[in-house]
Structure 1
Amino acid sequence: MQFSAYRAEFWQGVRDLLPLVSGVLPFGLIAGANGVALGMSPETIMGMTVLFFAGSAQLAAYQLIQENAPFVIILVTAVVVNLRFAIYSATFAPLLAPMKRIKRWPLAYMLSDQVYGLCSVPAQQQRSDGERLWYLIGVATSMWLSWVLSVVAGIALGASIPSEWSLEFTIPLAFLAMLVSTITRPILLFVAVVSGLSAVLFQMLPYNSGFIVAVAAGVSAGLLLPRLLGRPVKPQEGR
């Protein structure tokens, strides 16, 4: 009976992820096609895709490679882009910590924005550990497959994707949709505004380093504002 319930949670996670595939598909198509345009082999592109499992970092690396940026800049940018996953992981640490590493690491590897968005909602947090775990597995595995297959499709289509489709426009829209859903408190809105303004003001910095400045500005704003207002940050405000 318990296994049947967990299996239902797994498939519920798969079903909940399916509507988000519409945002993953163009992202993956662009990642695959851009890699081909840069002269990378399909093996190299898929190696980066599986190793990174982080589309934003992969596309940022592509852009910097195209600009002949130093390796250190590429590495730092990829790390900074992915720093959010360290924050996300705090939500799942109590759930995954008791598991053996051989089981815990694959789930940690498959953490993504979509997985965090679906699995961190209050309704999921209130369920049993077993239900949360199998729901997480369902969301994470279906997300991983969606991303990998989307990149494969982008490699196959390559330069045949018409530029007038403007698929790259869907990427900021997908992130904007996730951002809006997470802004539930004034401090989060303040952090988003500071980060956005910084990104615009420093967009002309070389090697896309304005992004790093925007991240630093947003984090600093989130840390300093509560102190300026004379109150501590509540734990839920970081979620």
Structure 2
Amino acid sequence: MLARFSPVDRAAFREGLRDYAPTFFALLSWGLVTGIAMNKSVLTVPQAIAMSLFVYAGSSQLAVLPLLAAKLPLWAVLLTAAMVNTRFVIFSAGLAPHFAYQPLWRRLVIGYFNGDVVYLLFQRKPFANGYVPGKEAYFWGMAAVSWIGWQISSIVGILLASLFPDNWGLSLAGTLALVPLLVAAVVNRSTLAAVGVAGIVALVAIDLPYRLALPLAVIAALGAGSVVDMLVERADLRRIRRHTGQGAPGQVPRVLDANEEKR
């Protein structure tokens, strides 16, 4: 299949596979946990497999299982899933400048195969907006291994749930495996503020029903990151004005000579 693509696309696809590889253990752990949970819920095996294939969103899958068991109305189930997946609105906004040139159907496919780790790793690459040779192939290298690994581990969990004791702590193992990736993503003050505030809000709101802690943490992170960005921009603007002599109203700007400009 790769032989049909250009050498640039083939290299980018393989690079995506390599970059995603360190997180593969976490993916398998979460897939198993989700599959086991679906098996032990009110879903039949075919229903659980269909949910894994079509929904492909572990957090929302886990969130709606208690609601299905309680036989709540469909609108409550869908609303809960939408709330849990609020973060994908942010992901879509982040990917839009990169794939806006694609037709709608293709953007929808990209949106389906996108995920938390895929988006985070993709955003760490210094891709320019618009068409860039190899950029989409790099995305698909990560998305393909993510989707295949998730479906295999999830279906294994569904079919063989009785073989995995609850005390194995697979969910904790998956979380711990993602910690290094999360730490590496903190590259500036606004990201650090967003991560810190999101963690605090998630802990405080952890007992709220319908997994409301997750969307609340996302909203709080957006607010914290935006505030820090604004404060940093204002501080930079003040430094620039002081440097150029434009800090005080009515003050005549001072022209820098060549030596000062170099400094």
TM-score category (smaller protein): 0.7 to 0.9
Contact 1:36 1:159 in 2 (8 A): no
Contact 1:69 1:207 in 2 (8 A): no
Q: Which residue of 2 aligns with 1:146?
A: 149
How many pairs does the alignment contain? 233
Deviations 1:86-131 (A, max 9, x none): 2222333233211223333212211111211222223445997121
- The equivalent position to 2:53 in structure 1, one of 40, 50, 53, is 50
Q: Given residue 150 of structure 2, which amino acid in structure 1 is its aligned partner?
A: W
Q: Identity rate of aligned residues, in percent?
A: 30
Residues 64 and 146 (structure 1), Cα distance of their counterparts in 2 relative to 1, 3 Å cut: same
Shift of 1:33: 0.9
Q: Which residue of 2 aligns with 1:167?
A: 170
CA RMSD of aligned residues (A): 3.0
Q: Which residue of 1 aligns with 2:182?
A: 179
Q: TM-score, normalised by structure 1?
A: 0.82
Q: Given residue 167 of structure 1, which amino acid in structure 2 is its aligned partner?
A: L
Shift of 1:30: 0.9
Greater displacement, 22-31 / 151-160? 151-160
Q: Which has the higher helix share?
A: 1
- The equivalent position to 1:21 in structure 2, one of 9, 19, 24, is 24
Contact 1:28 1:147 in 2 (8 A): yes
Larger CA Rg, structure 1 vs 2: 2
Unpaired runs of at least 5, structure 1 = 233-239
Q: Which residue of 1 aligns with 2:11?
A: 8
Residues 105 and 8 (structure 1), Cα distance of their counterparts in 2 relative to 1, 3 Å cut: same
Deviations 1:61-104 (A, max 9, x none): 22444466654443333223222222222333233211223333
Unpaired runs of at least 5, structure 2 = 236-263
- Partners in 2 of 1:230 and 1:95 — Cα distance? 25
Secondary structure of 2:143's counterpart equals helix
Secondary structure of 2:114's counterpart equals coil
- The equivalent position to 1:122 in structure 2, one of 112, 125, 136, is 125
Deviations 1:202-226 (A, max 9, x none): 2233343344433333333334455
Q: Which residue of 1 aligns with 2:112?
A: 109
Q: Given residue 20 of structure 2, which amino acid in structure 1 is its aligned partner?
A: L
Q: How does 1:221-232 map to 2 (within 5 A)?
A: 221-226=224-229, 231=234
Q: Which residue of 2 aligns with 1:80?
A: 83
Residues 189 and 163 (structure 1), Cα distance of their counterparts in 2 relative to 1, 3 Å cut: same
